[in-house]
Amino acid sequence: MKQDINMFLIAENNFSVLNRIVNILNRRRVRIRRISAHEEPDNFRRGSVSMVIHTTTDMAEKVKLQLEKLIEVEAVSYHLQPPLLETLAVTTMNYPMAASATQIL
């Protein structure tokens, strides 16, 4: 079953690295929901990418292995995104004011 997965990369900040990362996702028909890339403040030669992709866990593992093969990529990890209803339930349990605000709506 397809779901949203958070994927994080640390890579060298070289020309067209982001392009190669997106090409790997496109070749495997993985849908990119959100992507954000930036260089590290203390070391401009390193950068990181965080993205939310919509795919299965099996495909996420295949993409992870493929991205690790890129020379510039140092580390790749992914985590399943919790469903929205579970996140809201935890929020209302931790913050009683949020529960009363939802009851008003």
For the chain, the straight-line distance linking the first and the last C-alpha, in angstroms and rounded, comes to 32
β-partners of residue 48 are: 10, 38
Q: Say which residues have a Cβ less than 8 Å from residue 89's Cβ, sequence separation at least 6.
A: none
Exposure string for 14-46, b = 16+ CB within 10 A, e = fewer: eeebbeebeeebeeeebeeeeeeeeeeeeeeee
Cβ proximity of 24 and 63 under 8 Å: yes
Domains and CATH numbers, the chain: 3-104 (3.30.70.260)
pLDDT tens for the chain, 105 residues: list them: 899 999 999 999 888 899 999 999 999 999 999 999 999 889 889 999 999 999 999 999 999 999 999 999 999 999 987 665 455 555 545 555 544 544 544
Report d(CA 38, CA 12) in Å as an integer: 11
47-61 pLDDT, tens digit per residue, is 999 999 999 999 999
Cross-sheet strand order for the sheet of 31-39: 31-39, 46-55, 3-12, 73-80
Q: Give the pair of three-digit tokens for residue 29.
A: 């028909």
